[in-house]
Structure 1
């Protein structure tokens, strides 16, 4: 069976990977049905954005290497710099498998927050380095899936995964840069990973111990205040969910605080 499906965008037939179709279905489920003003950062070939435009949304994209689409607004943008966009103008910002390439995750999240309208949504996807198979890879090699070995020094800066972080760190950055977490999901699973399901109860036990019991009064990791217990419980439950335990990607929907 082919990994690709032909889809129509406007009058053009393009090939789309089945993995991308699944990811974009999760993304689109969080986009309001009415016409929205949407920004997709580093959109590449912009297949998703062009589909959203066909659905009636007002779409702007950025690329570091402009693709010059005749039917969609595009800006040249280095995400490590200030976005060349006005404040409070978008209903939705999409950052799809890009955040792991940037120098400073908090900087990029602040910029997305700036251009979002109050109550607007950021839909962010990135590799799940804490997926169970990736954890085993790290145990035996020191590297995670998504960055399986050192980056070659002749690779241009930012083209590889230079900032591959786990969900707990991303959650912290999102909350600290002005977002509330709405949903945490995955779209990409391998059936063979179900062999690791037998380990889930043990990992649940150890995760809950370290996040809720271990060194309860340690500086910066205090675990006795109700708000800290609630937050650590949320992180533990998210990591132990089937989506993040088995899924190869993380899809976070976050809302800009009003």
Structure 2
């Protein structure tokens, strides 16, 4: 994870970012945080996101990257095998290395944690489109229709704006077809 408190970038170990001792980073001191391939290794996401948004200045940006578990290829892998394509075998509890993807996040998880900690998703991006997802592109109208029908329900209507935002991100090209998902978020103004 990188945090910028001045014009220079500083590197901190991820354990410092999620420890209970928050003296490592001043409150509202950073204009940006960059978290590359970290979120899926974290057991307690609320601590992780709250620390990131605690150190951001209002209007500051948080950039996350994570393997995309919501791509159509990943969904088909889950349907056929019962595991995400990033965790093809059971984890060995005797080999705790911190390298396992113990807690993968989808767009809706990012949306929840970012909103909960005072931010908004501004954009999604990907590093490249996966052929294994693109072959399932004919399913997109079915997904969109299913989400639209689900939006007619009482719960979805009570959170109309949030549900529409969820559908927009969920049905975006990076979320449906991307390999690595980049989530760019912004801390709300004070």
Report what 2:112 is aligned to.
Answer: 172
Question: How far did 1:176 drift?
Answer: 0.4
Asked if structure 1 preserves the Cα contact closer than 8 Å seen for 2:73 and 2:132, the reply is: no
Deviations along 1:57-105, whole A, 9 cap, x unmatched?
A: 41111126xxxxxxxxxxx736344441111111110011101111211
Report what 1:77 is aligned to.
Answer: 16
Question: How far did 1:149 drift?
Answer: 2.5
1:233 is aligned, of 151, 164, 168, to 164
Q: How do 1:188-207 and structure 2 match up within 5 A?
A: 188-207=128-147
Asked if 1:254 is matched to 2:185, the reply is yes
TM-score normalised to the size of structure 1? Answer: 0.66
2:10 is aligned, of 28, 43, 60, to 60
Counterpart Cα distance in 1 of 2:18 and 2:93: 21
Counterpart Cα distance in 2 of 1:229 and 1:149: 39
Structure 2 unaligned blocks of 5 or more: none
Asked if 1:208 is matched to 2:124, the reply is no
Asked if 1:120 is matched to 2:60, the reply is yes
Report what 2:156 is aligned to.
Answer: 223
Counterpart Cα distance in 2 of 1:133 and 1:192: 5
Counterpart Cα distance in 2 of 1:231 and 1:90: 27
Higher relative contact order (CA 8 A, sep 6+): 2
Asked if structure 2 preserves the Cα contact closer than 8 Å seen for 1:82 and 1:111, the reply is: no
Asked if structure 2 preserves the Cα contact closer than 8 Å seen for 1:80 and 1:103, the reply is: no
Counterpart Cα distance in 1 of 2:112 and 2:136: 28
Question: How far did 1:129 drift?
Answer: 0.7
Asked if structure 2 preserves the Cα contact closer than 8 Å seen for 1:121 and 1:255, the reply is: yes
CA RMSD of aligned residues (A): 2.2
Could you say if the C-alpha distance between residues 240 and 78 of structure 1 is closer, same or farther in structure 2, counting changes exceeding 3 Å?
closer
Structure 1 unaligned blocks of 5 or more: 1-38, 42-48, 50-55, 65-75
Report what 1:10 is aligned to.
Answer: none
Deviations along 1:152-193, whole A, 9 cap, x unmatched?
A: 112215321111121112201110011122112222322353
Asked if structure 2 preserves the Cα contact closer than 8 Å seen for 1:80 and 1:102, the reply is: no
TM-score normalised to the size of structure 2? Answer: 0.88
Q: Which runs of 4+ in 1 moved over 6 A?
A: none
Question: SS of 1:185's equivalent?
Answer: strand
